[in-house]
């Protein structure tokens, strides 16, 4: 049975066409007598010249003018002109949302949202996806239907979001795998997060008589406030141990207090892959 969502839940969801190309993101919905339409936006980045408020304030201070941190920009510019200063400009990049098009709800074949681990950021994120039955973005770019490479090329697929038309968001492509007679893709939703039993480790190094090291590490993460460390914190802690010259027995003890969670992955036969462009779409 299909999942239903509050329209507000789907704001900023990725809109992917039938060719696996990103058409844009959900900006809103329009309900009318003609039907229900998804309004899809795209982001345009443009550079423009803006007044460099920080440099202007510094120039005024050099002239002995007391500049308040809460001065609005227009007041700052007027004060600079009174002092005979020319405005100082810098290039700034801004993002603008532009309505790209409207998609009939009848064009949608899948809507899903899942918590997955993103290998590019190393963090867990909520991925919201709307998949279309039409090649909207391919037509927009003037592209032809894709012919999948055989065998699959891992360097072109690793890290791509993978969506199943029957099961929803599966995760990100981890690697190419092989089975009897054909290759496939391993797609992971969970990537086995590292967890360090920090409080237990800190208690252990105290028992070793490493009081100075204990004090330094408490400044990083105090064991009374942080019972465990997760993900990047684990790597930071080990790097800190190495940088302060912790003895080998302490490094071994730290590694013994680190556990790696189970990965949650699924293997997809290559014959089940429909397209693999911006997003990998499978049956």
Residues 16 and 111 in one domain: yes
Cα separation, 35 vs 1, in Å, equals 22
Per-residue pLDDT band for 1 (boundaries 50, 70, 90) equals: low
What token pair was written down for 47?
A: 């550079």
- Regarding whether 89 and 25 lie in a shared domain, the answer is no
Does a structural domain hold residue 2? no
Mean pLDDT of the chain, nearest integer: 89
Question: Do the domain assignments include residue 275?
Answer: yes
Are β-strands 35-51 and 280-282 bridged in parallel, bridged antiparallel, or unpaired?
unpaired
Both 186 and 103 in one domain: the answer is yes
User: Half-sphere exposure (CA, 13 Å, Cβ side) for 240?
Assistant: 16
- pLDDT, residue 58, reads 81
Is position 1 within any domain? no
Residues 138 and 275 reside in one and the same domain: yes
Q: How many residues does the chain have?
A: 283
Residues 273 and 144 in one domain: yes
Region 108-132 average pLDDT: 91
Residues 52 and 159 in one domain: no
Q: For the residues 31-57, what does the mean pLDDT come to?
A: 86
CA gap 129, 165 in Å, rounded: 11
pLDDT, tens only, 218-248: 999 999 999 999 878 888 999 999 999 999 9
pLDDT tens digits along 250-282: 999 999 999 887 778 999 999 999 999 999 999
Q: Residue 79 falls within a domain, yes or no? A: yes
Residue with token string 């007041």: 75
Residues 130 and 168 reside in one and the same domain: yes
- Do residues 209 and 225 both lie within one domain? yes
Same domain, 116 and 249: no
Examine residue 222 and state whether it is found in any structural domain, yes or no: yes
CA atoms of 4 and 148, how far apart (whole Å): 32
Domain that holds residue 78: 47-97
Number of domains making up the chain: 3
Together in a domain, 38 and 167: yes
Counting beta carbons within 10 angstroms of the beta carbon of residue 118, is it exposed (0 to 12), middle (13 to 18) or buried (19 or more)? middle
Each residue of 194-203: pLDDT tens digit?
889 999 999 9
Task: Give the contacts of 193 (CB within 8 A, at least 6 positions apart).
Answer: 117, 230, 231, 260, 261
Interval 179-212: pLDDT, tens: 998 999 999 998 777 889 999 999 999 999 999 9
Query: If pLDDT is split at 50, 70 and 90, which confidence band does 120 have?
Result: confident
Neighbouring-strand partners of residue 149: none
> Could you give the CA distance from residue 180 to residue 172 in angstroms, rounded to a whole number?
23
DSSP 106-126: GGEEEEEEEEEEETTTTEEEE
pLDDT in tens, 50-107: 777 778 788 888 888 877 777 777 777 777 787 777 766 777 778 888 899 999 999 9
* pLDDT value at residue 166: 93
Question: Predicted confidence band at 134 (pLDDT cuts at 50, 70, 90)?
Answer: very high
Taking the CA atoms of residue 228, residue 233, residue 235 and residue 241 in that order, the dihedral angle to the nearest 10 degrees is -70
**Residues 24, 30, 36, 38, Cα dihedral to 10°:** 10
Shared-domain flag, residues 16 and 71: no
- 29 and 152, same domain (yes or no): yes
pLDDT at 260: 81
């Amino acid at each position: 049975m299909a999942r239903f969502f509050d329209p507000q839940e789907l704001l900023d969801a990725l809109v992917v066409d039938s060719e696996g190309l990103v058409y844009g993101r959900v900006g809103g919905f329009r309900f009318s007598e003609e039907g229900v339409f998804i309004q899809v936006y795209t982001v345009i980045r443009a550079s423009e010249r803006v007044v460099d408020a920080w440099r202007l304030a510094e120039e005024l201070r050099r002239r002995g003018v007391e500049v308040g941190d809460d001065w609005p920009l227009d007041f700052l510019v007027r004060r600079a002109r009174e002092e005979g200063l020319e405005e100082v400009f810098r290039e700034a990049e801004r993002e603008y949302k532009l309505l790209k098009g409207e998609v009939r709800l009848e064009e949608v074949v899948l809507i899903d949202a899942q918590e997955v681990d993103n290998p590019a950021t190393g963090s867990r994120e909520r991925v919201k996806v709307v998949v279309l039955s039409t090649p909207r973005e391919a037509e927009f770019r003037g592209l032809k239907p894709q012919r999948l490479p055989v065998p699959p090329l891992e360097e072109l697929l690793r890290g791509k979001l993978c969506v199943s038309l029957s099961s929803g968001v599966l995760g990100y492509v981890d690697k190419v795998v092989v089975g009897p007679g054909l290759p496939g893709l391993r797609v992971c939703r969970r990537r086995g997060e590292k967890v360090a039993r920090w409080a237990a480790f800190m208690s252990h190094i105290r028992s070793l008589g490493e009081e100075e090291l204990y004090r330094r590490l408490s400044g990083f993460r105090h064991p009374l406030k942080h019972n465990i460390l997760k993900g990047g914190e684990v790597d930071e802690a080990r790097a800190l141990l190495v940088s302060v010259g912790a003895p080998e027995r302490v490094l071994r003890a730290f590694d013994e207090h680190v556990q790696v969670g189970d990965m949650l992955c699924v293997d997809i036969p290559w014959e089940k892959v429909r397209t693999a462009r911006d997003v990998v779409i499978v049956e």
